């Protein structure tokens, strides 16, 4: 339906000659039409998108196999199922979400009626990452379509097979002036960010998120930033260590640890360290066998750059005295890093100073809850926090003292599949929310509308030296 834009990725001398500007202007003009579409029209677009995904299920799995060597069943679990669930959630609720919302009238504004209209923001830019390319592109796209926007998508060049597959989806499903997918490297994103989008939805690193926000500020574009950070796991003294080890091992090795909500380090009560290490090894063996490098269920690192970065983290930790208690094997030719558990970890190690984004898990111990809180709060606010505890007072203690995006109690990662919950970060881990109604609202302007129907407000006009006006204004003040 629309022409592939990969050829447009060549640099140009200036913005005025940039072919992206012509695309932008056509789609911006279309946004004034698309914003007036009804719920049934938007739902039909989402249903077409869903039918394409279901018809091309094998194609999606093949693309992720080519990019990550990801097992088909993991693709179904982490990419296809959540997108389908998200679309179903939107289609079930969109009529209600779009309905104008009546607002009660305060006494001092008697004689007026007010409501809030849900209106599209206009032309939006979605910049998606490589780690879950379908999930983190198509879920925000579904929200943007539901809100009545036109959309330009910039996918990551690091997952080219997935990007090509999604480009075909966009061509087959959408009018080219309503949705476009553009491939290319970072220079393409930079050129797109120079354009005055009405909203930008970015998923990626905190460092790049700052660049996106700075670019958006030039046009006062609103932003949603889905970032990352070091998401901690707290295991208190009375926790079920066996369950904790199983859940954390799964969450840390899902997509070979390349997930923004993956557990990034563990703080465990010192009495349970040995037990946790043993249980973690047992769970890794249960899921991936004695030699995980031979298990097709474990995805590979996305590229050589990230592989070497992760190997460097391991080498730095070992030089500074960390102990490799589980795993540690690497194979550059295969882009393989074994599920690895590090103990005797200190805050000076690089593995504790940056988001890991791989199957490496540092473990640190604590004696009391205050020590755990202090260690977490010494780092930037995380995207997620996971607390394993049997007693509600322990959970409440950490909830009251640690700021983060979202929290899961006695499990990890699973909240990212809850469309009704809404997921997002705080400060350095993000701005705004995604999923379900929260995702719809991110792409929506809630316009307040007030209508004056009766009574005369001219009694409030100057001159304020008028005694009657003064009396009425003082009465208004008391009403407030």
Active site residues per annotation: 226, 260
Which residues partner with 113 through β-bridges? 451
In 36-188, at which residue ranges do the beta strands (DSSP E only) sit?
A: 101-103, 112-120, 123-127, 150-154, 179-182
Q: What are phi and psi of 116, to 5 degrees?
A: -115, 130
Q: How far is CA 466 from the centre of its chain?
A: 57
At CA 312, angle to CA 306 and CA 313, rounded to 5?
95
Cis (ω within 30 of 0) for the bond into 463? Answer: yes
**Continuous H helices in 341-426:** 369-377, 392-401
Q: How far apart are CA 367 and CA 269, in angstroms?
A: 6
Contact 263, 376 (CB under 8 A): no
Neighbours of 110 (CB within 10 A): 11
The torsion of the CA quartet 126, 128, 134, 138, rounded to 10 degrees, works out to -20
Report DSSP letters for 238-301, one per residue. TS-HHHHHHHHHHHHHGGGG--TTS--EEEEEGGGHHHHHHHHHHHHHHHH-S-GGG-TTS---
Q: How far is CA 283 from the centre of its chain?
A: 28
């Amino acid at each position: 339906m629309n022409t592939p834009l990969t050829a447009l990725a060549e640099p140009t001398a200036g913005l005025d000659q940039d072919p992206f500007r012509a695309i932008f202007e056509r789609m911006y003009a279309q946004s004034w039409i698309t914003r007036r579409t009804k719920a049934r029209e938007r739902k039909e677009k989402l249903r077409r998108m869903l039918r394409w995904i279901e018809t091309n299920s094998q194609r999606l799995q093949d693309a992720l196999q080519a990019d990550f060597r990801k097992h088909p069943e993991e693709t179904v679990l982490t990419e296809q199922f959540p997108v389908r669930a998200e679309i179903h959630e939107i289609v079930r609720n969109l009529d209600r979400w779009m309905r104008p919302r009546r607002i009660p009238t305060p006494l001092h504004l008697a004689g007026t009626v007010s409501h809030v209209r849900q209106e599209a923001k206009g032309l939006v830019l979605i910049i998606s990452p490589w780690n879950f390319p379908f999930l983190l592109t198509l879920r925000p796209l579904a929200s943007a379509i539901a809100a009545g926007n036109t959309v330009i998508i910039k996918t990551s060049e690091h997952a080219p097979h997935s990007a090509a597959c999604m480009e075909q989806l966009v061509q087959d499903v959408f009018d080219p002036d309503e949705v476009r997918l553009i491939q290319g490297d970072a220079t393409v994103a930079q050129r797109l960010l120079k354009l005055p989008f009405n909203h930008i939805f970015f998923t990626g690193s905190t460092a790049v998120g700052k660049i996106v926000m700075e670019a958006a500020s030039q046009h006062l574009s609103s932003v949603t930033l889905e970032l990352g950070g070091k998401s901690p796991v707290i295991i208190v003294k009375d926790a079920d260590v066996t369950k904790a080890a199983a859940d954390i091992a799964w969450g840390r090795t899902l997509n070979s640890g390349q997930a923004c909500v993956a557990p990034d380090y563990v703080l465990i009560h010192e009495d349970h360290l040995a037990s946790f290490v043993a249980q973690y090894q047992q769970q890794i063996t249960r899921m991936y066998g004695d030699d995980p490098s031979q298990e097709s269920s474990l995805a590979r690192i996305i590229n050589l750059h990230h592989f070497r970065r992760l190997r460097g983290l391991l080498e730095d930790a070992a030089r500074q005295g960390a102990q490799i208690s589980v795993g540690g094997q690497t194979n550059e030719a295969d882009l393989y890093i074994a599920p690895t558990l590090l103990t005797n970890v200190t805050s000076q190690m690089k593995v504790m100073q940056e988001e890991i984004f791989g199957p490496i898990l540092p473990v640190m111990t604590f004696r009391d809850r205050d020590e755990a809180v202090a260690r977490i709060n010494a780092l930037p606010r995380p995207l997620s926090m996971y607390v394993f505890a049997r007693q509600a007072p322990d959970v409440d203690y950490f909830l009251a003292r640690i700021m983060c995006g979202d929290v899961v109690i006695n499990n990890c990662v699973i909240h990212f599949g809850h469309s009704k919950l809404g997921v997002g970060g705080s400060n350095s881990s993000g701005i705004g929310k995604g999923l379900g109604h929260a995702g719809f609202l991110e792409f929506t302007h809630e316009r307040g509308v007030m209508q004056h129907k009766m009574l005369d407000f001219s009694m409030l006009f100057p001159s304020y030296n008028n005694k009657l006006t003064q009396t009425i204004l003082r009465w208004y003040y008391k009403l407030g």
